[in-house]
Amino acid sequence: MERVKLTDDLNFSRMIHGLWRLNDWKLGDEEIRSLIEQCLELGITTFDHADIYGGYQNEALFGKALALKPSLRDKMEIVTKCGIKLVSKARPEHEIQHYDTSRKHIIWSAENSLKNLQTDYIDVLLIHRPDPYMDPSEVADAFIQLKEEGKVKHFGVSNFTPSQFAMLESYLPFPLVTNQVEISVSYLQTFLDGTIDQCLQKRVAPMAWSPLAGGSIFSNEDEKSMRLKKALQEVGEELNVSELDKLMFAWLLVHPANIMPIIGSGKIERIKSAVDALQINMTRQQWFKIWIASTGENVA
């Protein structure tokens, strides 16, 4: 599996596995351990979490599976996030959903993630969403302390606009290593609003969430989904690839921004199919055929 260099001492696997839906998969500890090992065998070493996934439960599910075979920890990179406070039975003190990027909350959340994940370091901690009430000097203090204590190796953001990314980075003594944003054949905004431009400018590889648009393309019958399915099928015929998911991953992978798609399925056949997309050489014209199907208009 191709590796992506984020810093001198940090590489991610090009394909990442995402654990947002882990509690929906209803897997036992042994099954989760086995899924992790199968991902590692495929070369997927980077796992994406957030404190809130599964109503604050998923990190602990993963941690319990990891505890069955602690030697797996050194073979992987763990990404997790903080900053969203959900209304949840697990957090009765939250009266409304809100963001908290205070120094105190970032440090508390990272330490709680360490406990849940049963590990003593997080490879990359992301601020989950831009916080309109953010004090960037507090974020910087929290990041510096977590780094000095060896609890978090590197930091990044998620869903940040280019100006939010640049603003936060200007307070830090080290660079942000990634911006995790929505990118898919169905969601092109990040190509149009400067997000991908900034990643290219700064040589920062973006992580792509919902790379299959959350699976909606497979079930939706609206005009855009139908146009996309038709274009993907036509391109697939030219490339001798029948699986639409594989083509949707390939569309992200061939782009020059070094996009790292986060696979959202717990089914090993689908994970393998995503990895196979690395072999597809989609041409520029095929890429644009899918772009045009998504926007519904020819480029000027």
List residues near ligand NAP by CB under 6 A.
Answer: 18-21, 48, 158-159, 180, 209-215, 218, 245, 262, 264-267, 270
Q: Annotated catalytic, 99? A: no
Give the count of beta carbons closer than 10 Å to the beta carbon of residue 232: 25
| Token digits of residue 214 | 């959350």
CB of 23 to ligand NAP, least distance (A): 11
Indicate the residue among 224 and 270 with the shorter CB distance to ligand NAP.
270
CB of 8 to ligand NAP, least distance (A): 25
What is the amino acid identity at position 128? H
| Token digits of residue 133 | 């009430």
CB of 51 to ligand NAP, least distance (A): 12
CA distances from 282 to 48, 178, 187, 218, 262 (A): 27, 25, 19, 21, 20
Nearest-CA neighbor of 118 among 202, 166, 75, 59? 59
179, HSE (Cβ side, Cα atoms, 13 Å): 28
Indicate the residue among 175 and 215 with the shorter CB distance to ligand NAP.
215
Q: Which residue is nearest to ligand NAP (CB)?
A: 264
Q: Which residues contact 65 (CB under 8 A, 6 or more apart)?
A: 29, 30, 32, 33, 36
Q: Which residues contact 297 (CB under 8 A, 6 or more apart)?
A: none
Indicate the residue among 20 and 143 with the shorter CB distance to ligand NAP.
20
Indicate the residue among 59 and 169 with the shorter CB distance to ligand NAP.
59
Indicate the residue among 218 and 288 with the shorter CB distance to ligand NAP.
218
| Token digits of residue 90 | 């697990």
Q: Counting every residue, how long is the chain?
A: 300
CB of 210 to ligand NAP, least distance (A): 4
Of these residues, 53, 99, 121, 171, which one is catalytic? 53
Rounded CA-CA distance 147/139 in Å is: 12
CB of 298 to ligand NAP, least distance (A): 27
Residues labelled catalytic: 53
